[in-house]
Amino acid sequence: MAAPSLIDQREGRPRTVAEAILLVGGKGTRLRPLTVNTPKPMLEVAGVPFLSHQLARAKAAGITRIVFATAYKPEVFEEYFGDGSRFGLELVYVQEVEPLDTAGAIRNVADQLVSAPNEPVMIFNGDILSGVDLGALRAEHAARGADVTLHLTKVADPRAFGLVPTDADGWVTSFREKPQRPEDIVTDQINAGCYVFKREIIDGIPAGRRVSVERETFPGLLERGAKVLGVVEQSYWLDLGTPAAFARGSADLVLGAISSPAVPASTCERYDAALVLDGAEVAESAQLGAGTTIGRDGRVGADAAVYGSVIGAGAVIEEGVSVRDSIIGRGARIGAGTVLEGVVVGDGANVGAGNELLGGVRVSCDAVLPDSSVRFSHDAS
């Protein structure tokens, strides 16, 4: 399919488009069983699909057109967001048939971009919750005349990340693999997963094969003398790839640790530190807090206590249940008196009364656990 014309046919004038690519192709294996039925970026975080927060922030930054780079369950994105008109955006979808890695996925959507060769295209990942000022990042890219600009963040322990050192003026000097020894830690700056590319840089990525942005594209740009800028901004930043991070990110949005115009209003005023969505029923004696979300048509029984957790649409938490730092899938049922801490329960699962599930247990979608007083636990991987 040909890219849309840069000329507005009604006016006969060039279009002005602030454009972005949203990378949403991952399978979300670290979040299974939550991602068995739903792509990771479409899981509900603080009451709405996670991408709703990203689209709202992009629109607030002046972005008007977004190309989705999809792969896993691509139909789910278009079914929910459509052409983007109800969100005040123009949305386009491109499916990645074979795995292409990050840069390959970026190149795969190039034919749908409408930006001119020297114009900026913002690129962000569909699993990073960030408070970075997108408009300021784009403005800095333009002001410095960069070919590529990276949002960098500082972390206390960078051993799990690739390192991105910069010189005194902010220009990236190298890209380092995850440090294996203490002497390899040359900086605490890491790639935060949000970029601005000149359109011509995207067109220069090899097409039709796997290309890693960290291992091939970025180092190759430095070798060719391209101007690669690193902008360090210490705003809120969290990779939602694990259940613990997912629950924490949702709670932080509910509590206002990071703001999003997409967070819906709660339908229950009894709880200052919880979000209760349309149709949910919460018993008067139930306790909710620490940023918990109760999904649409969910039910929380008498004397139940739910803290720091995400309860999916239609899920039932029976009387006397204790849930902390856990994620309960859509339509799941948690039996009376059960204790859950740091647990993931898949869609439609039925956990019987009296169970105690701790420390990283994951219950598969539609699984049935009988009533029990047996303790199940294991360390999260």
- Please report, for the domain that includes residue 206, its CATH number: 3.90.550.10
Answer yes or no: do 119 and 53 share one domain.
yes
Cβ burial, residue 312 (10 Å; 0-12/13-18/19+): buried
Helices 74-81 and 50-60: crossing angle, nearest 10°? 60
Answer yes or no: do 160 and 192 share one domain.
yes
Is 251 among the domain residues?
no
Q: How far apart are CA 187 and CA 159, in angstroms?
A: 10
How many structural domains are present in the chain? 2
What torsion do the CA atoms of 293, 26, 55, 14 make, to the nearest 10 degrees?
A: -170
Is 136 among the domain residues?
yes
Answer yes or no: do 195 and 67 share one domain.
yes
Answer yes or no: do 232 and 336 share one domain.
no
Give the per-residue pLDDT at 25: 86
pLDDT tens track, the chain, 381 positions: 444 433 343 344 344 569 999 999 888 888 889 989 899 999 999 999 999 999 999 999 999 999 999 988 989 999 999 999 989 999 999 998 888 999 999 999 999 999 999 999 999 998 899 999 999 999 999 999 999 999 999 988 888 888 999 999 999 999 988 887 887 888 999 999 899 999 999 999 999 899 999 899 999 999 999 999 999 988 899 989 899 999 999 999 999 999 999 999 999 888 999 999 999 999 999 999 999 999 999 999 999 999 999 999 999 999 999 999 999 999 999 999 999 999 999 999 999 999 999 988 999 999 999 998 555 555 443
- Which residue range forms the structural domain that includes residue 325? 264-377
Give the per-residue pLDDT at 11: 41
Give the per-residue pLDDT at 177: 83
Is 297 among the domain residues?
yes
Is 57 among the domain residues?
yes
Answer yes or no: do 277 and 199 share one domain.
no
Q: Are 173 and 187 in contact (CB under 8 A)?
A: no
Is 256 among the domain residues?
no
Give the per-residue pLDDT at 158: 84
Answer yes or no: do 38 and 74 share one domain.
yes
